[in-house]
Every structure is written in C-alpha cells, then in structure tokens.
Chains A and B, each alone.
Chain A
Amino acid sequence: MILRAAVAALFLLGGLLPGPAGAAPGRLKLATTTSTANSGLLAWLHPPFEEKHGVEVHVIAVGTGKALRLGQNGDVDVVLVHAREAEERFVAEGHGVGRREVMYNDFVIAGPPEDPAGVRGMRDAAGALRRIAGRGALWFSRGDDSGTHKKEEALWRAAGLVPRGPWFRLLGQGMGKTLIAAEEKRAYTLSDRGTFAAFAAKEKISLALLAEGDERLFNPYGVIAVNPARHPGVNHELAAKYVEFLVSPEGQRRIGAFRMNGRQLFHPSAGRAPGN
C-alpha cells in the first residue's frame, strides 16, 4: 500500500518537474516556415551557433503569415520567412528591425505527368496559369496565407485572372499535404522547389515538374528581428546575433553547403544590398 502510494506520488509529481530539456539557459524563439524547418536546413545550420553562444534555438515552424503574426505579437524573437512584400510591411509598421536578405530558392509549377493543360516546359508562369484556368484543369491552392500562397496570388494577378470555379480549390493546408492531395487528385499546384524535390526523391509523389525558370518564381528568404522597442520582453541581443550569424560568411557557407539527396536547395544571397 505504502509502496503503491509512493509510486503514484512519484509519477504524478514527476510531471511537475522540468524535463531533461527543462528551461534552457538561453533560448532564441524563431518562427519560420515549414520549407526551412522540414527540409532539415535549420537542423544543419544551427548547431555551430548554439554551441558558440551556449543557447538553444527553438524553431516554431508555421506558414509565413502566422510566423509574422507571432512576431507582431512579440511571441518570438526573430522570424525567417519568404514573402518580401509582407516582410517590408512588417518592418514599415514597426514590428521588426534590421531585415536582411539571407538566401533564395524558387517555386515550380507541378502537375500530373500526363499534363492535361499542356504547360510542360513553359517558362512564363502567368501564361501557364492562364492555360490551366482556360482548360479548367484542377488546381490546388495552399489557401493558408503562407509565403507560397502569397506568391501564387501574385501570379494570378499577373495572369490577369481571378481564379474561381470548380477546378480551383483552396486547401488550407501546408506544402506537403497540398502536394499529397494534388498527387491523389491529379491536380496542378505551386510548390517551393525544396519540398517538391524532397517528396519526389522519396517517391511520395509522382507529379512532374512542369514549369520553372520564370523570374517571377524567385523565392527570397529574409530574416527580421522583432522590434525590442515594441516588445521589451524579446531576447533582442540574441536575435541580433542570430541575424548576424545567418548573413556571416560562415552562415552563408553552411547554407550553400546544405544538400538534400545530393542537391542544393538554398542559395546564399546575403552579399546583396541589405533591405533590398
């Protein structure tokens, strides 16, 4: 009886103790997109930074829209996202400071290999969208206010179209789930190259990469520290060090050296003019 009571007490009280990962000595909260976190880039990038400063980078992987929202509310210290217009607005409205360009990759238009709309090999992304819309071929949109979704909306605007109709579906899902859904339903979709390559390499999808190379498909990533004047509670000192690290020669070299299935996914670009 006493033994049992002791075991029960031990288990229940054990829950109240901080776990092995307990309160980190210093923690930097980073809100970022699923494309950087799920590709494994950040797990490859962070250890030298964490070791050097004796801190832990806590990655909260969400869509770009939500990441910026968390920054605006002061719930994270720094954001790493990909939606240049929204980033510039974020800084202009005083939510963030010291935005720096970090790296880029690009978007691709993926679809069923049989390509019912006939967009294979097209360079003009807006033209490809117009053709898909014209044929009424099934299109799956992320519909989740992510960086990819914002890019897609800009492309529809460039195509001079307001997509509407039974062929156009707003999924409200992340990139991976959208690709899986497109695979199941033989739909076209816009994807970042990294996620598409990862899914295609592991044969989770048989979708084909149909259109690429338009400069409008350029996908730059920016890092922004949350404004400490607006949110005194944020760890700005560490956030500033993190931004410095990403754009430093060492950080840039690591970004360029990252490989997934032998392929480079992100191209360092911090050498360019800041805030551009």
Chain B
Amino acid sequence: MEFLFEGFREGLLRALRADPAVMRAAGVTLQVSFAAILIAALAGLPAGYALAVARFRGRGLAIAVLQTLLGLPTVVIGLLLYGFLSRRGPLGFADLLFTPSAIVAGLVVLALPIVAVFGMTAVASVDARARETAWTLGASPARAAWTVVREARFGMVAAVLAAFGRVASEVGIAMMLGGNIEGYTRTLTTAIALESTRGEFGFGIALGAVLIAVIFATNLLSRWLQRS
C-alpha cells in the first residue's frame, strides 16, 4: 500500500501546485461535460416532461427504449459514433473525430436518456392534482406546465446532476472519440487510464481525487443556484 500512498501524495501535490497538464485535463473535462449537459438538458428535460404528462401512441415504446439506453456501454457509444465520424463514415467530411466536439457528441448520447428518464420520473411524481388545480383555476396550459415544473424542479436538477456525474467520469467515449491528445482532448479520466497503463497508479488515484473535487464543486454550485 505504501507505494500507492507515495504516488498519491506526489500526484496530489502536483495537482495542488496547479500543474499545467493536470489543469488542462481538468479544463477539458469541464468544457466537454458542461457542453454535453447543456444540450442534453435542453433536449432531455422537455422530452421527459412530455413523456410524463402527454398520452400518445408509442409512448410506452419510447420510455422502454430510453430506459434500455441507460444501460448502453460508453465504449459502444464510442464505437458507434466513430463509425459516423470517421472520414469513411457519413459525417466524415466534418472532420470532427479526435476533437472536443466529437467527445461532446458522444457524451450527449450518454446523458440524454439519463436526463429524460429521471426528468420524466420527477414530473410524474408531482401530484397530478397540482396541474388539475392550476387548470381549474383558469391557468393556461403553459402556466399549468410551469406550476408542475416548479414542483418538480428538485427532481429535474437531480436528473441533470446525475447525468453530469456520469458524463464527467466516463472514459470510453473520451478515449475513442477524443483520442487522448495531450492538452486538446485529454480529459481527467483518459489521463487516469493513461497513468494506469504506465504503471503510475498513485498519480492516477490523485487525478481521480481531482475529478471528484471537480464534481463536488459543481454540486455545491448547483445547490447555491437552487437557493432561490
């Protein structure tokens, strides 16, 4: 255990001294995660709301598909999108492979089902009477929707935060679509994977601690944002 502790201490010191390589990896992690979460939330929360309150043909199938996608391995998402983004693939002309944008695309695929499914659950758990009351009090559909969303907001934020944690901590998509390019597409998780292949286990764990700190700070920020 001592060898692990040594490397961990060394790595943590490096990270705390704001080692540029560690800072860049943390920056890339935050950049791609926030971008993916913004897109996933804008698409996924309305979709979750619609699935919770609307009744339409194929609703059950849509829910089943989304819930199944919760189990999609990140390495499969990476492989699938590689097929699209490779120069031989249908989107190859865009030259997106091995860029941060390619990672964002994969992370959106990962985050969308999480936001939609747990957003749906949050909305569905709001007492239906709240909406009906708003309605009977003469509120417009938009006004009634707003009432429901206000009631469901904590669940919706939790859905987004769960997706953020998943997105910031995954490694398969970032490795496959980003290529782990130093200072460009190297995230904290692909850096950890690299350190583990180099046998630098302690430093890898130190990077893991940095990642957890980043996720913790994001959660604190979201709590502060919700205190309205």
Q: Which residues of B contact A34 (CB under 8 A)?
A: 197
Q: What is the bound-complex CA distance between A38 and B38, given in angstroms?
A: 35
- Interchain CA distance A75-B98 in the complex, whole Å: 8
Q: Does B228 contact A (CB under 8 A)?
A: yes
Question: What is the interface residue range for chain B against chain A?
Answer: 35 or more
Interface-facing stretch out of B55-63, B109-117, B132-140, B181-189: B181-189
Interface-centre pick from B31, B95, B224, B227 (highest chain A CB count, 10 A): B31
Asked if A231 contacts B87 (CB within 8 A), the reply is yes
Q: Which of B22-30, B66-74, B120-128, B145-153 lines the interface with chain A?
A: B22-30
Q: Are A58 and B199 in contact (CB under 8 A)?
A: no
**Complex Cα distance A1/B196, Å?**
44
Bits for A15-49, please: 1 = Cβ < 8 Å to B, else 0.
11111110110000100001000100001000000
> Dominant SS at the B interface?
helix
| Distance of B90 from chain A, by nearest CB (Å) | 13
A75 x B86 contact (CB < 8 A): yes
How many residues of chain A have a CB within 8 Å of chain B?
A: 42
Query: How far in angstroms is the closest Cβ of chain B from A108?
Result: 17
B172 at the interface (CB under 8 A from A): no
Q: Chain B residues with Cβ under 8 A from A179's Cβ?
A: 199
Q: Give a binary string over A174-214; 1 marks a CB under 8 Å from any B CB, 0 the rest.
A: 10110110000000000000000001001011000000000
Which residues of chain B are within 8 angstroms of A199 by Cβ–Cβ distance?
A: 199
Q: Is B129 an interface residue (CB 8 A)?
A: no
For residue A74, CB closer than 8 A to chain B, the reply is yes
- Residue B32 CB within 8 A of the other chain: yes
With both beta carbons as reference points, the residue of chain B lying nearest to A24 in the complex is identified as: B184
The CB with the most chain A CB atoms within 10 A, among B24, B98, B180, is that of: B98
- A contact set with B: CB distance below 8 Å: 1, 4, 7-8, 11-21, 23-24, 29, 34, 38, 43, 56, 58-61, 73-76, 174, 176-177, 179-180, 199, 202, 204-205, 231, 233-234
Complex A-B: 15 CB contacts under 8 Å = A4-B225, A4-B228, A8-B225, A11-B221, A15-B34, A15-B35, A19-B27, A20-B27, A21-B24, A59-B181, A61-B180, A74-B88, A205-B199, A233-B93, A233-B95
